[in-house]
Structure 1
Amino acid sequence: MDRLAGKTAIITGGGSGIGLASAKRFIAEGAFVYIFGRRQDVLDGALATLGDQARAVRGSVDDLGDLDRLYATVQAERGTLDIVMANAGTGSFAPLGQITSEQYDQTFDVNVKGLLFTVQQALPLMQAGGSIILTGSTTGVMGTPQFSIYSASKAAVRNLARSWAQDLRGTGIRVNVLSPGPTRTDLALSVVGEAAFEEMGATTPAGRLGEPAETAAAAAFLASADSSFMTGSEMFVDGGMAQI
């Protein structure tokens, strides 16, 4: 299947987890992919598995200079951009009463500010037929104990997509949210703990954790013309967790 043949994509947080799985899927469907992340060792490891249809740029989404450098690289090497997957994110647990200003700033700087400028700075390189995918979360529509700041940041992502779909009227550029449920990534396992995370997966109607490749398959659909009549919407890949 070559639904993305000739397309150029950027995936932030593309060195591991859902971002890396999506990069693999996009490449398998014909795209050239730029992965963007903070850790050089993670990027190098990802490139070793992605091959010559991928390029890595190091930087942080909450640093506008790093984003400028990313898009300058894409423009110089590819000219235009077809797909943006704003996937970089962070979060940590803290109940109300123990939330710190530093935790709030870190979460919203990456999950909201970083996502905003990842998208906004991409727009000059995009044209009709382009697809913007924002990584949300089931937590954006659920109450989650000790996880309110992360959850609120993902609720903001959902509203940004609704508003940006209006802003992008007439451009031919679509924007949608892809919201995973409990998915087996190194980050999630480290934040939640493996035993607790497996238990969470068992509570879903599907009875298990999701795999990054399952979310990546949905990302490829949203990136392709197969989803051409979708914008401003949210697609859940959550084993039914937030649906019942």
Structure 2
Amino acid sequence: MQYQNLLVETDSKVSLITINRPSKLNALNSATIEELHQVFKVLEEDGDTKVIVLTGSGEKAFVAGADISEFSNFSQEEGERLALEGQRKLFDFVENLSKPVIAAVNGFALGGGLELAMSCHFRVASHNARMGLPEVSLGVIPGYGGTQRLPQLIGRGRAMEMILTAGMIDAARALEYGLVNQVVEQEHLLDLCEKLASRISKNSPVAIGYAIKAVNAGFNNSINGFKTEIEAFGSCFGTADFKEGTEAFLEKRKADFPGA
């Protein structure tokens, strides 16, 4: 499938999605959000893909925000629909994928860009990364899950400070806050993400999907996370992956998971 704003390549069970709008610092417009929805949907069903890495083209930005020109004249109803559809198509969709998504944050991740990185299952940043939610400086608030995911990741007080000041933090501060897992030189960013993805891809894809579901349930007030974990744990026992994993352990060999 051809994409106007994305580059997609798959190698050794790892798919790399690159948001490719360098002249706009990879800003999210409606077309890019739609394409991202479609590619994540395709890769979720792709048997050759076990892990997804998401990054931005160039050396300046992961995603520098949303394309403000698209919604500067929106009404209240249109603004609410923009947030609702964006969360449904992309941000919530990514968070709930059964395949892990790693954000390789290379440069600016601002506004919708940081919200997209936070919807991924974890984040690795380059030393030149800068992150923030500047929406209140434009007279609006984060609308793609930023007010919810940022406090979950770094705590309420720090999130309030970042959101209310509209300021940016650097990669070192993001690492200190727990917003990113690791920080590396930009030239090593994709290598590290691909190594992490390769390690993940050797594990049971069925168990990984259940693990993502159980962890996410713990942050959903309408769901009992412990109950979800218990049910998912039990479900694992009925899978071919569990049979292969336990047999391989007892036979002192590496598991070859069928993914079922």
TM-score by length of 2: 0.31
The structure having more radius of gyration, on CA atoms, is 2
TM-score, normalised with respect to structure 1: 0.33
RCO higher in structure (CA 8 A, sep ≥6): 1
